[in-house]
Amino acid sequence: MGKFTSVLTIIGITGLMAGCGSNQAAAPVPTPSYSCTPDASGAPCTAELAAAQAEEAKAYDEAVHAYREFTKERNRLVVAGGAAAPTPEMTKYASGQYLGDVASDLALLEKHGYHGTSGLEIMQIVPVSATRDSVVLRICENGSHIKLLSESGQTLGAGNMASVEIKVNRGEGAWRVSEGNASKEDVCGL
């Protein structure tokens, strides 16, 4: 009996020791340090998808910043009576067709001595698409409070609200508004 008891004791102790190891808490599973916006296709959140979404969000932010800064300068110049040529601030935030169109309008103001009573108000910006180097935005611009005045102060016209679609491109290390047209989709609720 003594030998049998000591064998059982050894088996029991070994069993207890094995049981002690299994009672320890499991190592925590690390939580991913990334998150994703739910994907319409139902794709799972991966580090790659999270990185792509973060890059897209950064592109939108930078494109919106370029548009807002350009609009501030355009507004300043409209109230000041235009400009014969694009200012450095304008060329910092715009290029191509968009810069050309706005510069042409500002040159006409300056040539005729006209000015606006205030600038455009940005009512809404809706992201449309983004790639690493190009962003498309739909914007509701409110100019309905603006009056165009002659040099003598006579009211020549008034502004309106408009939905525009702009394209902002990254080039030479900066984002610039490059194209702008009336939007096919109304974002002003007119």
pLDDT score for 48: 87
Q: Please determine, for residue 45, whether its predicted confidence score (pLDDT) is greater than 70.
A: yes
Confidence of residue 3 (pLDDT cuts 50, 70, 90): very low
pTM: 0.78
Q: Is the pLDDT of residue 89 over 90?
A: yes
Query: To the nearest whole number, what is the mean pLDDT of the chain?
Result: 85
Look at 12 and 56; give whichever has higher pLDDT: 56
CA distance 13 to 5: 12
Burial 82-100 (b: 16+ CB within 10 A, else e): bbeebeeebbbbbbeebbe
Whole-number pLDDT of residue 24: 55
Whether the pLDDT of residue 63 is over 80: the answer is yes
38 pLDDT band, cuts 50/70/90, is confident
pLDDT, tens only, 151-173: 999 999 999 999 999 999 998 88
SS (H, E, C) 66-104: HHHHHHHHHHHHHHHCCCCCCCHHHHHHECHHHHHHHHH
Query: What value does the mean pLDDT take over residues 50-67?
Result: 91
pLDDT digits (tens, 9 = 90+) for 109-156: 999 999 999 999 999 999 999 988 999 999 999 999 999 999 999 999
pLDDT band at residue 6 using 50, 70 and 90 as cut-offs: very low
Quickly state the pLDDT bin for 37 (edges 50, 70, 90).
confident
30 dihedral zone (left: phi>0; alpha: psi -120 to 50; beta)? beta
* Percentage of residues of the chain with pLDDT beyond 70: 82
Tell me how far the alpha carbon of residue 63 is from its chain's centroid: 6
Strand partners, 94: 177
Percent of the chain with pLDDT over 90: 62
The full set of domains in the chain, from first to last, is: 49-182 (3.10.450.50)
Integer angstrom CA distances of residue 25 from 19, 21, 32, 58, 125: 12, 9, 21, 41, 50
